[in-house]
Structure 1
Amino acid sequence: MLYGRDTEQAEIDRLLAGVRAGRGGALVLCGEAGIGKSSLLEYAAAHAEGMRVLRAVGFEAEVDLAFAGLHQLLWPVQDRVDRLPDAQAAALRTALGSATGAADRFTIGLAVLTLLADLAGDGPVLCLVDDAQWVDSSTVEALLFAARRVTAEGVAMIFAAREGALRTAGLPELALARLAPDDARRLPAVQGLPPTLRERVIAESAGNPLALVEFAAVRRIPNGPVPLPVADRVLAGFRAQIAALPERTRLMLLIASAEGRGYMPSLLGAARRFGVGLDDLEEAERAGLVEVTGDSIGFRHPLIRAAAYQDAVTTRRVEVHRVLADTADEPGCRARHLASAALGPDEEVAAELQRAAERALARGGHGPGAALFRQAADLTPEPAARARRLGAAASAALRAGRVEEAGELADQAERLVDDPAEATSPARVRAAVEYERGDARAAARLLVRHARHAPPAEAQAMLRTGALYAWAGADLDTVRAADEELRAIGRDDRVVAGMARLAAGDHAAGLPPLRELVAEARRALPSASAADLTQAVHLGLVIGDDAAALELATAAVARCRRDGQVGALPDLLEALARAQVDAGLHREAEATVAEAAELARTLGMPHRADRLAAVTARVAAIEGDGERLRALAPADPVDDALALLDLGAGRYPDALRRLAGIAGGPRRHTAGGIVSAADHVEAAVRAGRPEDAREPMRRLRAWADAGGGAWSRALLLRCRGLLEDAEEPYAEAVRAHRDTGRPFERARTQLLYGEWLRRARRRSDARDVLRPALETFESLRAGPWAERARAELRAAGDAVVPARAAAPDLLARLTPQERQVVRLAAEGISSREIAAQLFLSPRTVEYHLYKAYPKLGVSSRRELSRLQLEPI
Structure 2
Amino acid sequence: MAVQRSRVETPRHERTVRGRERAWEAIVALTRSARAGRSGVLLIEGEAGTGKSLLLAKAACAAAAPGFSTATGGAGEFAKAAPLEPLLSALAGLPFAGDAGPVGRPGRRLRIIEEIRAALERRCGEGPVLVALDDLQWADPATLTAVHTLTRALASHPVVWLLARRTTGRATETGRLFDLLEREGATRLTLGPLDDATVREVVIDMLGAVPDPDLLALAAETGGDPALLAELLSGLRDEDAVTVVGGRARLVTPRIPERVRADLGRRLGRVSPATRHLLTVGAVIGRSFCPEDAAEVLGATPAALLPQLDEAFCEGFLVVAPEELAFRNGLVWRVVADAVPAPVRRALHRQVGDLLMERGGSAMPAAASHLMQGVRPGDARALADLDRAVAAVTLVSPRSAAALAAHALRLTDPAEPAWPARTVTAVRALSTAGRLEDALDLVDSALLTPLPGETSARLRCLRSAILPLTGRTGEAAAEASALLTVPGLSGELRDEAELVLLNAQAGMGDDRGARARAERIVFAADGHGDALVTGALITLALSEWGSGRPADGLRLARAAVRRAESADARRLHPRMILTMLLIDVHRLEEARAVMAGAGEEAETAGHLAWAAAPAVLRARMHLAEGRFHDAAAEAGAGLAITSRLGPHVLTSYALSVLATAVMRAGDLRGARRYAEGDRPPPCHCGSPYADARLRLARAQVTVASEGAAAAAEAVGRLCDDLETHRWTLISESTAAPWLVRTALALGDRARARAVVAAMDRLAGGHPVFPCLGVTAAHARGLLDRDRDALERAAAGHTDPWARASAAEDLGMLITAEGPALRRDAVAGLDTALAAYTDLGAARDAARVRRRLRRLGVRRRHWSQADRPVSGWASLTDTERSVSALVAQGLTNRQVATQMSMSTHTVAFHLRHIFRKLDVTSRVELTRLTIEAGP
TM-score using structure 2 length: 0.52
Q: What are the equivalent positions in structure 2 for 1:364-375 lying under 5 Å apart?
A: 365-375=400-410
Higher relative contact order (CA 8 A, sep 6+): 1
**Over residues 634-675 of structure 1, what are the superposed CA-to-partner deviations in whole Å (9 max), with x where a residue is unaligned?**
434443223212444571222332222344569753534785
**Does 2:890 align with 1:851?**
no
Counterpart selection for 1:20 from 180, 183, 193: 193
After TM superposition, give the deviation of residue 684 of structure 1 in Å: 0.8
**Does 2:575 align with 1:536?**
yes
Query: Which AA in structure 1 matches 2:772?
Result: S
Q: What are the equivalent positions in structure 2 for 1:453-464 lying under 5 Å apart?
A: none
Counterpart CA distance in 1 for 2:348 and 2:570 is 48
2:387 corresponds in structure 1 to 357
After TM superposition, give the deviation of residue 748 of structure 1 in Å: 1.3
1:338 corresponds in structure 2 to 378
**Does 2:765 align with 1:765?**
no
Counterpart CA distance in 1 for 2:458 and 2:513 is 20
Query: Which AA in structure 2 matches 1:411?
Result: D
1:581 corresponds in structure 2 to 623
**Over residues 392-433 of structure 1, what are the superposed CA-to-partner deviations in whole Å (9 max), with x where a residue is unaligned?**
112223345543322211333455588986556435654665
Counterpart selection for 2:414 from 349, 357, 379: 379
Counterpart CA distance in 1 for 2:14 and 2:670 is 39
**Does 2:158 align with 1:128?**
no
**Does 2:785 align with 1:725?**
yes
**Does 2:639 align with 1:639?**
no
Counterpart CA distance in 2 for 1:5 and 1:471 is 72
Query: Which AA in structure 2 matches 1:119?
Result: A
Query: Which AA in structure 2 matches 1:536?
Result: R
Counterpart CA distance in 2 for 1:42 and 1:429 is 52
1:234 corresponds in structure 2 to none
Moved more, 653-662 or 834-843: 834-843
Residues 795 and 518 of structure 1, relative CA distance in 2, 3 Å threshold: farther
Query: Which AA in structure 2 matches 1:745?
Result: A
**Does 2:715 align with 1:655?**
no
Residues 498 and 777 of structure 1, relative CA distance in 2, 3 Å threshold: same
2:226 corresponds in structure 1 to none
Q: Is the CA contact (8 Å cut-off) linking 2:744 and 2:752 kept in structure 1?
A: yes
1:273 corresponds in structure 2 to none
Other structure's SS at 1:336 match: coil
Query: Which AA in structure 2 matches 1:537?
Result: M
Q: Is the CA contact (8 Å cut-off) linking 2:603 and 2:611 kept in structure 1?
A: no
Counterpart CA distance in 1 for 2:617 and 2:588 is 8
Counterpart selection for 1:681 from 740, 760, 769: 740
Counterpart CA distance in 2 for 1:825 and 1:489 is 53
- The structure with the largest alpha-carbon Rg is 2
**Structure 1 unpaired stretches of 5+:** 49-53, 60-66, 82-92, 99-115, 133-157, 162-255, 267-329, 340-348, 865-872
After TM superposition, give the deviation of residue 755 of structure 1 in Å: 0.7
Q: Is the CA contact (8 Å cut-off) linking 2:583 and 2:620 kept in structure 1?
A: no
After TM superposition, give the deviation of residue 685 of structure 1 in Å: 0.8
Q: What are the equivalent positions in structure 2 for 1:467-478 lying under 5 Å apart?
A: 476=511
Query: Which AA in structure 2 matches 1:338?
Result: G
Give me the CA root mean square deviation. 6.0
Other structure's SS at 1:635 match: coil
Residues 458 and 583 of structure 1, relative CA distance in 2, 3 Å threshold: farther
Residues 262 and 378 of structure 1, relative CA distance in 2, 3 Å threshold: closer
- What is the total number of aligned residue pairs between the two structures? 615
Counterpart CA distance in 2 for 1:484 and 1:12 is 73
After TM superposition, give the deviation of residue 777 of structure 1 in Å: 1.9
2:916 corresponds in structure 1 to none
1:396 corresponds in structure 2 to 429
Counterpart CA distance in 1 for 2:512 and 2:14 is 59
Counterpart selection for 2:840 from 776, 781, 793: 781
Counterpart CA distance in 1 for 2:512 and 2:490 is 23
After TM superposition, give the deviation of residue 562 of structure 1 in Å: 12
Counterpart CA distance in 1 for 2:15 and 2:263 is 8
**Does 2:527 align with 1:486?**
no
Q: Is the CA contact (8 Å cut-off) linking 1:367 and 1:396 kept in structure 2?
A: yes
Residues 830 and 27 of structure 1, relative CA distance in 2, 3 Å threshold: same
Other structure's SS at 2:521 match: helix
Q: What are the equivalent positions in structure 2 for 1:176-575 lying under 5 Å apart?
A: 259=343, 261=345, 336-338=376-378, 349=380, 353-363=383-393, 365-375=400-410, 378-380=413-415, 386-414=419-447, 422=455, 425-426=458-459, 429-430=462-463, 433-434=466-467, 437=470, 476=511, 479-480=514-515, 483=518, 486-487=521-522, 489-490=524-525, 493=533, 496-497=536-537, 499-500=539-540, 503=543, 507=547, 510-516=549-555, 531=570, 534-542=573-581, 544-548=583-587, 552-553=591-592, 556=595, 560=599, 569-575=611-617
Counterpart CA distance in 2 for 1:97 and 1:651 is 76
Q: Is the CA contact (8 Å cut-off) linking 2:867 and 2:873 kept in structure 1?
A: no
Counterpart CA distance in 2 for 1:820 and 1:390 is 45
After TM superposition, give the deviation of residue 33 of structure 1 in Å: 6.3
Other structure's SS at 2:661 match: helix
**Over residues 593-641 of structure 1, what are the superposed CA-to-partner deviations in whole Å (9 max), with x where a residue is unaligned?**
344456667x867977675333211112323433212322343444322
1:692 corresponds in structure 2 to 751
1:71 corresponds in structure 2 to 285
Other structure's SS at 1:579 match: helix
Q: Is the CA contact (8 Å cut-off) linking 1:617 and 1:632 kept in structure 2?
A: yes
Q: Is the CA contact (8 Å cut-off) linking 2:736 and 2:779 kept in structure 1?
A: no
TM-score using structure 1 length: 0.56
**Does 2:659 align with 1:617?**
yes
**Does 2:757 align with 1:715?**
no
Query: Which AA in structure 1 matches 2:809?
Result: L
Q: Is the CA contact (8 Å cut-off) linking 2:662 and 2:668 kept in structure 1?
A: yes
Moved more, 533-542 or 764-773: 533-542
Residues 264 and 556 of structure 1, relative CA distance in 2, 3 Å threshold: closer
Counterpart CA distance in 1 for 2:481 and 2:13 is 58
Q: Is the CA contact (8 Å cut-off) linking 1:377 and 1:387 kept in structure 2?
A: no
**Over residues 278-301 of structure 1, what are the superposed CA-to-partner deviations in whole Å (9 max), with x where a residue is unaligned?**
xxxxxxxxxxxxxxxxxxxxxxxx
Q: Is the CA contact (8 Å cut-off) linking 1:28 and 1:160 kept in structure 2?
A: no
After TM superposition, give the deviation of residue 805 of structure 1 in Å: 1.3
Q: Is the CA contact (8 Å cut-off) linking 1:643 and 1:658 kept in structure 2?
A: yes
After TM superposition, give the deviation of residue 563 of structure 1 in Å: 12
Counterpart CA distance in 1 for 2:385 and 2:814 is 76
After TM superposition, give the deviation of residue 788 of structure 1 in Å: 2.7
**Does 2:801 align with 1:744?**
yes
2:32 corresponds in structure 1 to none
**Over residues 431-481 of structure 1, what are the superposed CA-to-partner deviations in whole Å (9 max), with x where a residue is unaligned?**
665465466776688678768987667766776687678767867467436
Q: Is the CA contact (8 Å cut-off) linking 1:573 and 1:596 kept in structure 2?
A: yes
Q: Is the CA contact (8 Å cut-off) linking 2:622 and 2:631 kept in structure 1?
A: yes
**Over residues 47-102 of structure 1, what are the superposed CA-to-partner deviations in whole Å (9 max), with x where a residue is unaligned?**
99xxxxx999xx9xxxxxxx998624445644699xxxxxxxxxxx9x9999xxxx
Counterpart CA distance in 2 for 1:813 and 1:452 is 64
Counterpart selection for 2:671 from 615, 629, 641: 629
Counterpart CA distance in 2 for 1:652 and 1:848 is 45
Q: Is the CA contact (8 Å cut-off) linking 1:652 and 1:687 kept in structure 2?
A: yes
Other structure's SS at 1:850 match: helix
Moved more, 645-654 or 769-778: 645-654
Residues 730 and 424 of structure 1, relative CA distance in 2, 3 Å threshold: farther
Other structure's SS at 1:802 match: coil
Query: Which AA in structure 2 matches 1:685?
Result: L
Query: Which AA in structure 2 matches 1:850?
Result: R
Counterpart selection for 1:790 from 849, 857, 862: 849
Moved more, 725-734 or 372-381: 372-381
Counterpart CA distance in 2 for 1:483 and 1:559 is 24
